[in-house]
């Protein structure tokens, strides 16, 4: 328990003013000042140190029903954040502790202690709890090992492979004994990173030609697993290269998030009949039972250097929106976070 320390009077926070049509525009958002309130019983006041921006947030800006509620207009947006507790009225959490929570897009937040997870800045950098050891990492782990039912010897293709999730999927597949790991990315710099730093067997720049043709060249014996972060042309190409009994785990489809008309589906779905292939979507929220196993296994890989990760760090709450738009444009290498 703690008496309140000296705090600024206001906290800056991002509000959604209107629902974007197509690409989000700066006028759809506002950075506003709000009075910092004291926590009640069972709550803590946290000063955010890092906040996360992620592709799925684009879906929450629309009013359409989805797996998570839309952002409310004229109220602060939400997202993963890690910060330092400055006032606590919750048992087991003290000022100076660091917690992971879901009230990002703002400088200060009042958080119910039951919705906070204490993290250790000595065990890993704070930003890692938003990426490689956080929801991003668990998404990669669960999607590859459970949804795609990866097994040793599988040939794996990952789209968006230089992003936070994709880069981890490819490395986990390699560490688990994949026969071949192939990735796609949107620049020659990212392609080089995939092969030279993350250990992919092959990678290609999808902007350099048809995805199907480049995938066949990179994986001439076909693929057993496709981890989809992109959708569109990538999904069609993966179906075209799928081996018998192949599995496709659909994590995201960033290529269509800003479309104003429904995107056409793959033209070759009938090929799933001949390959006995399977496509399955998944959400990380359905796989929290894997969290202890994930932290133990991936944490050991990170500490030993066997699994590498990159972050793109943007400075300042005032640049939170531009960081988010950068993710949609594919400007990040690894996890995009904002340091406040």
- Mean model confidence pLDDT for the chain: 93
Percent of the chain predicted with pLDDT > 90: 82
Would you report the helix, strand and coil content of the chain in percent, each value rounded to 5? 30, 30, 40
Q: Which uninterrupted H or E stretch holds 51?
A: strand 43-52
Q: Which has the closest alpha carbon to 50: 99, 122, 112?
A: 99
pLDDT at 83 over 80: yes
Return the pLDDT at 5. Answer: 67
126-141: average pLDDT: 93
Q: How much is the average pLDDT of 86-110?
A: 96
Assess whether pLDDT exceeds 60 at residue 2. no
Inform me whether the pLDDT recorded for 92 exceeds 70. yes
Q: Is 100 helix (H, G, I), strand (E, B) or coil?
A: strand
pLDDT (tens digit per residue) in 293-312: 998 899 899 989 999 999 99
pLDDT over 60 at 191, yes or no = yes
Give the pLDDT confidence of 208-243 residue by residue, as tens digits.
999 999 999 999 999 999 999 999 999 999 999 999
**Looking at 83-97, 98-112, 326-340, which range is the least confident one?**
326-340
Instruction: Check residue 70 and give its pLDDT.
Output: 93
Question: In the predicted model, what is the mean pLDDT of residues 155-184?
Answer: 96
pLDDT at residue 195 in the model: 98
Residue 64 has pLDDT above 90, yes or no: no
Other Cβ atoms within 10 Å of 339 Cβ, number? 16
Mean pLDDT within 309-322: 96
pLDDT at 127: 95
pLDDT of 80 reads 94
Assign 1 a pLDDT band (cuts: 50, 70, 90).
very low
Contact 50, 84 (CB under 8 A): no
**pLDDT (0 to 100) of residue 257:** 66
Residue 68 has pLDDT above 70, yes or no: yes
CA angle 6, 10, 12 (to 5 degrees): 130
As a whole number, mean pLDDT of residues 315-340 equals 94
Distance CA 245, CA 274 (A): 9
The residues facing 81 across adjacent strands are: 51, 101
């Amino acid at each position: 328990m703690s008496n309140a320390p000296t705090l600024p009077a206001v906290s800056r926070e991002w509000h959604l003013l209107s629902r974007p049509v197509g690409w989000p525009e700066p006028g759809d958002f506002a950075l506003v000042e709000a009075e910092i309130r004291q926590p009640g019983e069972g709550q803590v006041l946290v000063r955010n140190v890092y906040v996360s921006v992620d592709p799925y947030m684009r879906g929450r800006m629309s009013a359409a029903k989805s797996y998570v509620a839309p952002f409310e207009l004229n109220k602060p947006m939400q997202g993963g954040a890690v910060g330092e507790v400055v006032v606590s009225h919750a048992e087991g959490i003290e000022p100076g502790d660091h917690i992971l929570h879901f009230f990002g897009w703002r400088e200060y937040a009042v958080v119910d202690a039951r919705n906070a997870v204490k993290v250790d800045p000595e065990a890993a950098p704070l930003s890692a709890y938003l990426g490689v050891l956080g929801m991003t990492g668990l998404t990669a782990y669960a999607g590859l090992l459970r949804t795609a039912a990866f097994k040793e010897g599988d040939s794996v293709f990952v789209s968006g492979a230089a992003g936070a999730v994709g880069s981890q999927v490819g490395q986990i597949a390699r560490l688990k004994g994949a026969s071949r790991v192939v990735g796609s990315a949107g620049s020659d710099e990212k392609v080089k990173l995939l092969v030279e730093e993350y250990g992919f067997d092959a990678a290609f720049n999808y902007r350099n030609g048809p995805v199907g043709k480049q995938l066949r060249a990179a994986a001439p014996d076909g693929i057993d697993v496709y981890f989809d972060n992109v959708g569109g042309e990538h999904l069609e190409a993966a179906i075209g290269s799928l081996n018998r009994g192949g599995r496709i785990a659909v994590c995201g489809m960033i290529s269509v998030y800003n479309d104003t008309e429904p995107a056409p589906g793959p033209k070759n779905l009938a090929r799933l009949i001949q390959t006995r292939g399977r496509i399955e979507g998944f959400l990380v929220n359905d796989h929290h039972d894997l969290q202890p196993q994930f932290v133990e296994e991936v944490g050991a890989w990170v500490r030993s250097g066997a699994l590498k990760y990159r972050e793109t760090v943007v400075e300042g709450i005032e640049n939170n929106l531009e960081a988010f738009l950068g993710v949609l444009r594919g400007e990040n290498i690894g996890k995009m976070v904002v340091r406040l």
